[in-house]
Structure 1
Amino acid sequence: MKRNWGTVLLSTLVVSSMALSACSSDTPSKEKEGTTKVDDVKTVSSAGFPIVKEPIKLKMFTRIAPTNGPFKDMPVFKDFEKMSNVQVEFIEAPTDGFPEKKNLLFASNELPDAMYRSGLTQLEAIKYGAGGQLIPLEKLIDSYAPNLKKLMETYPEIRSAITTPEGHIYAIPGIVTVNSARTDKRWMNQAWLKKLNLKEPETTDELYEVLKAFREKDPNGNGKQDELPMTARNDKLSVVTQMAGSFGLDLQFGYNINLDNDKVNIWMGSDRNKELLMYLNKLYSEKLLDQELFTQKEAQYLAKQGSGNTGFFFDQTNNPMLDTKVANQYMGIAPVKGPHGDRMQSNAAPVPRDFGAFAITPVNKYPEATMRWIDYFYSDEGSTLLRFGRKGENYELREGIPYYTDAFLATGNQSKITPYAGGGAPHLISEKVASYINPLQVQEAQKKLDPFMPKVKFAPPMFDEQTAQKINMLRNDIDKYYEEQSTKFIVGALNFDKWGEFQATLKKMKIDELQQLYQATYDNLKKQN
């Protein structure tokens, strides 16, 4: 299996500090072999089911995607409650506005027992962990998470990506060991290409001409100019992320960073980024790029994928298209070559793909049982239950691999039965459970991207607490300003003759200091290797 060796380098960053971490005084006392005493009533089994003999109740704050049904109705949670004796009440917050609700939760200190599918960032994990609102998990993992522990041993980049320099783990990720689940594909309407006798675009100029033809030449044949040439998610400038590689812009350390001859370059104010934003502005101004790009909800974006009336978009899978039977209209294409010859799929993720997917708070009376509960989903068996539901009713095995049954696929309810739909769930995505997200069409789309995937990919680093606080303060202002101004540049609300002022403001916000902090982190990695 292909490893992400760039992130492997991060594992050495925390080895020495982990060796110094002391045993916690809160470690539960052993009652007997195979169980651990939690209080006078509850005991946690170290293996097998149920996890506890007497039922316990937990509250978990979670994100619910537009395609999901209520978590309480999902087979995975119904069946696992019976298996484990752990009753979970989910506090659901929708994808739109979720970060704000999550921040309010911590600000008010009205904490649940655990954060599920919580999308905590590295900076949030350190901030809330150091502040005592998340508990360290490393000893719980060692004693109560054999599946996760085994994955961390197999892929050292997992431990390095989630462990602070002090040796603490405050949140655990969704783990992806199948390549095609670590990057968005570039889906183009091949039916429209064929109808208009166009070839697959190879350059940014050719992409512009294709999108223009989609807009002007009625490829859907209804006599109306109602085609949507190109769209993307309304999520932290995702369209910039998707197109960055065509302008030589990489995304190292989970940020807007190029590594040039061992020098960290935060490129937000660079000439290359100006060229990228000008290109997107050209597409937007000519209505080749979705006019609802910065206002649409996730459900609207998914609906546009499934409509068959979209020319070009980005998504990891072909699932939204399958639900509406238009999948055969689309094919994956390679990244297009930019004006300087750059052609890179820069937004690929590491094996620990979904950082901060699960965390435990100090109000939790049963952290040992909670860790055992979540660890089940880092096994192929647990991941199969989470992703596919009930054998026979929802899926069948073919040569040991789960596939949805034809009868269940016909209901169109796949996304209703699993918290996987919408992404970010804390679990394992391996080849054994990837049949639905990695069918032949997706595999073929990934082959188009493979030659352009980055050779080295550094995961977002876990800084020491002092550095994390500095970076958090700097990025809070810089990231907000960059997103606001970039949006204005793209939609034409801000003229590019203001680019010098934009660069000067980034300087005033101490972007150079932020760059130095990332440079020091990279230098430390090099010293360790």
Structure 2
Amino acid sequence: MKRNLGKLSALSLSAALLVSVFSGCTSNATKPTGSTEKSGEAAISTIPLPIVSKPITLKMFVAMDAKVAATMKNYNEIAVFKELEKRTGIHIEFIHPASMDAAAIKEQFNLMVASGDLPDLIYYNWINDYNGGPNKAIKDGVILPLNDLVDKYAPNLKAFMASDPKANKQLRTDDGTIYVFPEAQSPNQFAKVNPNPNPAFQTFGWQIREDWLEKLNLKKPETIDDWYEVLKAFKTKNPSGSGKGDEIPLAPKGAGDLQNWVRAWGINYGFYVDNGKVKYGPYTPEYKDSLTTLAKWYKEGLIDPDFGITDAKQFDAKVMGNRAGSWVGSTSGTFGRFVQLMKAKDPSVKLGGTVPPYVKGTKSYNFNIDEIKVASGGGVAISAKSKYAKEAAMWLDYGYSPEGGLLNTFGIEGQSYKMVNGSPQLLPEITNNPQGLSIDEALSKYSRGSGGLAFIMTPEIWQQRMALPEQQKIIGLWKEGSYDRTMPPGVTPTIEESTKMASVLSQVNTYRDEMFSKIIMGQVPITEFDNYMAKLKQMGIEDAIKIQQAAYDRYMARK
């Protein structure tokens, strides 16, 4: 079995030394009950390959990634999992929900839990989507507490947590329980051997047709007032050159895209923190101002009238059809893909980005986590029903080793990347795909380096996934927004708090979303805002804010 050990980069070898240094460290957190540790069995310091002497199969529940779905029907088709099976002796049988819609995924997850027929591994957002949170999932017998398993059989994750206090804090609940193997995106993990890792994790933001701006002699908009003038010009001055008057100044892909615009008023479309005080954006005076403005834009035809029903294919058609003037989206799957596809179709097309918009006299804010250590609440948990908890922990932990991280991030050497001066470099098959796939779509055929599941990303991937000059520039613009008000990942209400929170927010968020669209589209006048606020209060939003405040305060007090 080839493992290419002789070809590992200097980065990986040095990181291996880092792992060995920390593999003997033990967390001081209290270990919860429910241990699966075998009495008297010593902790391992490295993951032995193969992990098992006889092949076994582990089942994993995970929603299909749209970037994978572009070319494949199941994660088993991804080259990385075939190679992992060769190295570890463990086959993963993936169980994908029938739909990628968030509500459908949650429904299928709930049906699976209710049936009691649980797979060995479950990828889910345990903080935000499980009623009662991760500790309740453990109490319900759905997943295992991982403290003992990590201590005994996950030396690489253990080392990562010991070396990075922020990651260690984010991976636990308030009582110290470890519940998930996370997707870890720590650019500082290998800082000693890669002194200039790309720290840009602000990979979502505002995108615009720069060629339209230039044609109309307009500056890039920054404030909401600037945006209004630009959108009016896009609407009335025929920047596309079609002469049809069919330009869409602002083209959201669904109501969720448009909801991001409330950030310009310094609020989030959910919870955020303002000088240590937890707030709920749609329950603030600033929210009324944002709705008033967006409703005005919609009435004047500056926002796509079909924003609420626009799906991914329709959105692509509007952008690629030279009709959309601006939108929001990711650096890679949206922006990078459009840059490549539209340039190939028309070299004169020029796409760019703007700083996060803000109201004149205030400042620009970001509410996406910058420099994430671990994904917020999401990751792979081990089922309480699994007969292979030890083996599952070891299989997952391999992704936090330098060799396993490289495999999970870059895929197969010679097929998706090559080593250049000790550093992994994506091949043209990925960066300039002959089938017209975006970098992330092409990479997804070989690895999970575009995001998802459980491993530490090898840092070089960031600059290469964002290799286009336009992408490098847009990341810099997006990062100009302040992160002062961002809610940190890993804030975990107690079981009782989480249950109460879920009960309140199931009503509040449904009503919030309904009223957002109705007010924007003029179906409900803004004069009804006071009644809207009273309804949220009646539903218990102030109780939910208090719960989130208490959870935030406990998180900040964690050691």
TM-score w.r.t. structure 2 length? 0.80
> In the aligned structure 1, how far is the partner of 2:558 from the partner of 2:444?
46
Q: Is 1:404 the equivalent of 2:433?
A: no
Q: Is 1:382 the equivalent of 2:404?
A: yes
CA deviation profile, 1:36-57 (whole Å, cap 9, x unmatched) = xxxxxxxxx9523111111110
DSSP-derived class of the 2:326 partner: strand
1:159–1:487 CA distance, 2 compared to 1 (3 A): farther
1:180–1:442 Cα contact (<8 Å) kept? no
1:59–1:475 CA distance, 2 compared to 1 (3 A): same
CA deviation profile, 1:163-206 (whole Å, cap 9, x unmatched) = 12232222233222244234413222112111222110121111
Q: Which of 351, 356, 379 is matched with 1:357 structurally? A: 379
**Match in the other structure for 1:246:** 264
Amino acid at match of 2:324: T
Q: Which of 221, 228, 251 is matched with 2:248 structurally? A: 228
Amino acid at match of 2:119: P
Q: Which of 104, 109, 127 is matched with 1:121 structurally? A: 127
User: Offset of 1:63 from its aligned partner?
Assistant: 1.1
CA deviation profile, 1:460-504 (whole Å, cap 9, x unmatched) = 511222222222222222222222222222232222121111111
Q: Which stretch of the first structure deviates more once superposed, 388-397 or 133-142?
A: 388-397
Q: Is 1:194 the equivalent of 2:214?
A: yes
**Match in the other structure for 1:111:** 118
> In the aligned structure 2, how far is the partner of 1:205 from the partner of 1:172?
44
**Match in the other structure for 1:337:** 358
CA deviation profile, 1:4-50 (whole Å, cap 9, x unmatched) = xxxxxxxxxxxxx964335655312567895xxxxxxxxxx952311
Q: Which stretch of the first structure deviates more once superposed, 186-195 or 337-346?
A: 337-346
Q: Is 1:157 the equivalent of 2:139?
A: no
1:64–1:296 CA distance, 2 compared to 1 (3 A): farther
Amino acid at match of 2:208: M
**Match in the other structure for 1:100:** 107
Q: Is 1:78 the equivalent of 2:82?
A: yes
User: Offset of 1:115 from its aligned partner?
Assistant: 1.4
User: Offset of 1:162 from its aligned partner?
Assistant: 3.0
Amino acid at match of 1:461: V
Amino acid at match of 2:472: Q
DSSP-derived class of the 1:310 partner: coil
The percent identity for this pair of structures is 28
User: Offset of 1:272 from its aligned partner?
Assistant: 0.3
1:85–1:104 CA distance, 2 compared to 1 (3 A): same
2:31–2:148 Cα contact (<8 Å) kept? no
Q: In the TM superposition, what are the counterparts of 1:429-444 in structure 2 within 5 Å? A: 429-439=457-467, 440-444=469-473
Q: Which stretch of the first structure deviates more once superposed, 79-88 or 146-155?
A: 146-155
DSSP-derived class of the 2:200 partner: helix
1:191–1:330 Cα contact (<8 Å) kept? yes
Please list every run of 5 or more consecutive structure 1 residues that lacks an aligned counterpart in the other structure. Answer: 1-16, 35-44
Q: Is 1:269 the equivalent of 2:283?
A: yes
**Match in the other structure for 2:63:** 63
2:336–2:471 Cα contact (<8 Å) kept? no
2:67–2:444 Cα contact (<8 Å) kept? yes
Q: In the TM superposition, what are the counterparts of 1:2-13 in structure 2 within 5 Å? A: none
**Match in the other structure for 1:11:** none
Q: Which stretch of the first structure deviates more once superposed, 57-66 or 79-88?
A: 57-66
1:287–1:426 CA distance, 2 compared to 1 (3 A): farther
> In the aligned structure 2, how far is the partner of 1:345 from the partner of 1:256?
13
Root-mean-square deviation over aligned CA pairs: 3.0
1:314–1:527 CA distance, 2 compared to 1 (3 A): same
2:277–2:549 Cα contact (<8 Å) kept? yes
1:507–1:286 CA distance, 2 compared to 1 (3 A): same
**Match in the other structure for 1:321:** 338
Q: Which of 274, 285, 295 is matched with 1:259 structurally? A: 274
**Match in the other structure for 1:291:** 305
Q: Is 1:177 the equivalent of 2:201?
A: no
1:420–1:278 CA distance, 2 compared to 1 (3 A): farther
User: Offset of 1:380 from its aligned partner?
Assistant: 4.6
DSSP-derived class of the 1:363 partner: coil
**Match in the other structure for 1:391:** 413
Amino acid at match of 1:174: E
1:183–1:348 Cα contact (<8 Å) kept? no
Amino acid at match of 2:434: A
2:36–2:149 Cα contact (<8 Å) kept? no
